[in-house]
Amino acid sequence: MEIGFIGLGNMGGPMSRRLVEAGHRVTVFDVRKDAVDKLVKLGATAANSPADVASRVETVMTSLPSLDIGLKVVDGEDGITRGNRIKRYIDLSTTGSRAAQKTAGIMEKRGIVQIDCPVSGGVAGAEKGTLAVMTSGPKDEVELVRPALEVFGKVFYCGDKPGMAQSMKLANNFLSATGMAASSEAIAMGVKAGLDPSLMCDVINAGSGMNTATTQKFPRSVLPGTFDYGFGMALMVKDVRLFLQEAEDYGIPLEVAAAVGRLWEKAMAEHGPNSDFTELAKTVEKGAGVQMRAKK
Ligand code: NAD
C-alpha cells in the first residue's frame, strides 16, 4: 500500500520502519529532520508538511505526542485536511474519545474516513511488531487497511463509533499506570523490610501480583537504575488525565484512579515532563527513604 506516516518518534519511528520493511511505499513527515533522514535511508520518501503527505497518498497515519499537536497536524494551516489525495486518516496516538470524536467530525466534513487506532505494548512492541492494535471506525475501511496494521501487531476491532478504540486504550493504560504506581509502593515497602527488590520481582512474577511493572518496567529500567523505558512522563500523565476525564464523563466513581492520578502528577512535578515514566519509582523511593536497585 501507499502510506503516509507523520510523527516518527519512539513509536512512529519503529512502526514506519516496519511498514517500509514489509514492502509498503511510505511517505514520512516529522518536524525533526534527523528522524525523517533515518527513514529516508531505509527507503521512505520525505514530504514537506502534513498537507504534502496528504496530497501524495490516500492513507495517512499519525503518531503524535499531544492533543494540541494532533489537532494542528489535522486541521492547521499545513494540516492533512489541506491535502488533496487523502481518503482515510488513521490515528495511532492516544487521544481519548472526546478528541477522536472532534477530529472525526472535521474529517467527515472533508469526506475523509477516520480510523482510531491507538496501540499498546511500548517501544519494544513497536520494534518487534507485537503491539495490541485497537481500531474503531467503519468496519470495511478497517478491513481494507488490516494488512498494514498487522505489521504493527495483533489487530482488534472495537466498534464503529468514533473514539471506541480510544476508550479501550485508556482503560488499558490506566491499568498500566496503576500497576507501575502500586508495584513501586509494594516493592518500596519490601525493601524497607530488608528484602532484595530483584528477588521481590522474581517472587511476584511467579505469584499472583505479577503485572507489566514487575515483569518489564522494574527489571529493565528501575532495578538497573537506567530509567530509559522509552515512554515519556508527560505521555503517561496525559493518558491518566484522559482516563479520569472519560470516566467522569460517564459518571463512574473513581477511588483508585484518583489516588493513582495524584501520584503521577507528583512524579511529573518532581521529574519534569520529559523524564521517562519509570521515574515515578524515584518519587516513591524519596517518600519511603529507600532505593529499589538491583545488587551489582
Ligand atoms: P514521541 O514524543 O517519541 O514522538 C512524537 C513525534 O512527533 C516526534 O518525533 C516529534 O518530533 C513529532 N512531532 C511533534 N510535533 C509534530 C508536528 N507538528 N508535525 C509532525 N511531527 C511532529 O512520542 P511517542 O512515545 O512516539 O508517542 C506517540 C503517541 O503514541 C502518543 O500519543 C503516545 O501516548 C502513544 N503511545 C506511546 C507509547 C510509548 O511507549 N512510547 C506506547 C503506546 C502509545
Q: What is the pLDDT of residues 68-87, one digit of tens each?
A: 999 999 999 999 999 999 99
Average pLDDT, the chain: 97
- What are the boundaries of each domain within the chain? 2-161, 167-288
Q: Quick one: which atom of ligand 1 is closest to the CA of 93? A: 32
Tell me the C-alpha distance between 54 and 81, whole Å: 7
Please give the grid coordinates belonging to residue 101.
470524536
**Average pLDDT of the residues in 15-25:** 98
Three-state SS for 88?
strand
The pLDDT of 189-218, averaged and rounded, is 98
CATH code given to domain 167-288: 1.10.1040.10
Q: How many C-beta neighbours within 10 Å does residue 201 have?
A: 26
CA distance 29 to 8: 7
Integer-rounded Cα radius of gyration of the chain: 20
- The C-alpha atoms of residue 201 and residue 211 are separated, in whole angstroms, by 10
- Tell me, in angstroms, the distance from the centre of ligand 1 to residue 257's CA: 24
- 2-161 and 167-288: identical CATH topology: no
Question: Mean pLDDT, to the nearest integer, of 123-143?
Answer: 98
Copy the grid coordinates of residue 103.
Answer: 477530529
Instruction: Name the burial class of residue 77, with classes exposed (0-12), middle (13-18) and buried (19+) by CB atoms within 10 angstroms of its CB.
Output: exposed
Nearest atom of ligand 1 to the alpha carbon of 76: 18
CA distance 80 to 77: 9
d(CA 123, CA 207) in angstroms, rounded, equals 26
**Ligand 1 center–CA 74 separation, angstroms:** 15
Quick check: 296 pLDDT over 90?
no
Q: Residue 20 is which amino acid?
A: V
| pLDDT tens track for 170-188 | 999 999 999 999 999 999 9
- Position in ligand 1 atom list of the atom nearest CA 12: 26
- d(CA 134, CA 167) in angstroms, rounded, equals 10
Ligand 1 pocket list (CB less than 6 A): 6-12, 29-32, 35, 63-65, 69, 72-73, 93-94, 119-120, 122-123, 230-232, 235
Kindly report the number of other CB atoms within 10 A of residue 16's CB atom.
Answer: 30
The CATH architecture that domain 2-161 belongs to is 3-Layer(aba) Sandwich (3.40)
pTM of the model as a whole = 0.95
Residue whose cell numbers read 519509570? 278
**Residue 90 pLDDT class (50, 70, 90 cuts):** very high
Q: Which of 161, 115, 108, 147 is CA-nearest to residue 134?
A: 115
The predicted structure's pLDDT at residue 295: 87
Q: Which residues are catalytic?
A: 169
Is the four-CA dihedral 91, 93, 96, 98 of positive or negative sign? negative
Instruction: Give me the mean pLDDT over the 125-149 stretch.
Output: 98
- d(Cα 154, Cα 118) in Å, to the nearest integer? 12
